[in-house]
A and B are shown apart, each in its own frame.
Chain A
């Protein structure tokens, strides 16, 4: 039988996961504004254009607004604030 040895764990220290809960859901989207967020990856803007067109045709009671992020790599608090104030929900499109 091979001799047992003791070794160190090579992993770093994980951040603590805090107690965020999911955002409350609206009971419906009718009459509200659904923000469609294009994060800028390949073709995600075209995808949002088509999603908006489809919603306008099939769910005309849901208002939509497309916003484009300046960069997908950094926080954009002004966009978050606008969605919080004016929107009932948002869809982020990553384009992958």
Chain B
């Protein structure tokens, strides 16, 4: 059935309102009026109250039956999981000093849904299922305690990118080198998978068509692109230091919503500025931008292009990636995110609203441009991702940098 509202002309909308409902056959307008004024029964008026409690333990079963049960209940990412026996959960719980019954926080699939709460033990169950080792658990807790979900229900099929900074990268043997964002490191993969499985189960599900509405889905959702920054080969300060952490502290950053990853066809050559303007100008306006640079690309940007300070590179990217104002404001849902700020006089959006439709305006402000470093130092490759973190205007969608050490 075609969507009745988005992309429809006024005449089509009027025809839909005055025509038959595609499911019931009743005129949409009449059904609407009836729904507002039809008398309600006593039962309707009674209201309903119930508690959705669940047992801590599942009915004992054979391993293959339990694997099937977990799949059927929507508790997995459609891949086999490590079954969370009491012994395995206890082992993961040993990875933190926090009590099993401590409430970690709340999480929900979308702003229109209820918050569910969860304990340290419930988080540990999901870490076991993802295959995480006890020593990874503080990172998993930091991610899940954030309140951000890795299973956000949005029609635009969003994913996340998770990056770890600080000493914990080496303690856990995380990968910041060759294949950092790929399926080649146990800690990277299972920490990211724990975030995903934990999100969907602790928030009460992520069921397509019910509690997940992403039209095409996101391939980033399996492990949330989890990797470690290569602080040692970066010419700039570590990412978490930009946001108030000491280099010796461990932190994890959630970038969201991540919908795209574009890898530049060339390294850092003489045409880098032209290519960067095009690629950073092609992503969602105001959606945040991340430059993911292999250490060789980062070094070339610092030494050849003169961006010895990360801040200068960010400001250059923000100033030079532009698009016409009509395209900036014509993007779906843009008024929801920026229209009111612009009308309230908040800059730069107020000026963007006044701009001539053909005027080229910045795709992202500097606060929404991020530079991170990872890769195998085989070639000076660089990629562009869309995503927010540490915004001056926070939202349920954007991510931030979180302390890991309090969860040890």
Contact = CB atoms under 8 A, between A and B. Distances in A.
Interface of A: 1-22, 24-29, 34, 40-44, 46-47, 49-51, 53-55, 58-59, 70-74, 89, 91, 93, 95-96
Given A13-B117, A13-B118, A4 B33 contact: no
Interface in B99-118: 107, 111, 114-118
A9 B44 contact: no
Given A10-B129, A12-B204, A25-B39, 17 more contacts: A5-B83, A6-B57, A8-B56, A8-B84, A10-B84, A10-B201, A11-B75, A14-B52, A14-B54, A15-B116, A19-B49, A21-B46, A44-B5, A50-B14, A54-B14, A89-B37, A93-B5
25 contacts: A1-B62, A3-B62, A6-B85, A8-B56, A8-B57, A9-B125, A12-B201, A13-B117, A14-B114, A15-B114, A17-B48, A18-B49, A21-B44, A21-B45, A24-B40, A26-B36, A27-B39, A41-B336, A43-B13, A44-B5, A46-B13, A49-B10, A50-B14, A54-B17, A95-B6
Contacts of A96: 3, 5-6, 155
B354 interface: no
Label chain B's interface by main secondary structure.
mixed
A26 to B, nearest CB: 6
A1 B61 CA distance: 11
A20 B47 contact: yes
Nearest to B144: A12
B33 A29 contact: yes
Interface string B3-24: 1011110100110011000000
A7, A9, A40, A89 interface centre (most CB from chain B within 10 Å) = A7
A7 B57 CA distance: 6
B242 interface: no
Interface string B64-82: 1110001000010000000
Interface residues of B, number: 73
Contacts of B10: 46, 49-50
Given A8-B89, A58-B29, A13 B40 contact: no
B65 to A, nearest CB: 8
Contacts of A10: 70, 75, 84, 122, 125-126, 129, 197, 201
Given A8-B56, A40-B336, A2 B47 contact: no
B392 interface: no
Contacts of A6: 57-58, 60, 85-86
Contact of A22 (B40, B115, B336): B40
A72 to B, nearest CB: 6
A63 B337 CA distance: 31
B55 A11 contact: no
Contact of B40 (A14, A25, A28, A49): A25
B178 interface: no
A74 B394 CA distance: 13
- Leading 10 A-B pairs by shortest Cβ distance: A21-B47, A12-B202, A2-B62, A12-B118, A14-B52, A19-B49, A12-B116, A19-B47, A4-B60, A50-B13
Nearest to B155: A96
B122 A13 contact: yes
B312 interface: no
B303 interface: no
Nearest to B15: A50
A13 B28 CA distance: 38
A15 to B, nearest CB: 5
Contact of A54 (B29, B49, B395): B29
A27 B117 CA distance: 41
B101 to A, nearest CB: 11
Contacts of A47: 5, 8, 13, 17
B89 to A, nearest CB: 6
A46 B155 CA distance: 20
B359 interface: no
A93 B17 CA distance: 12
B147 to A, nearest CB: 13
A73 B49 CA distance: 26
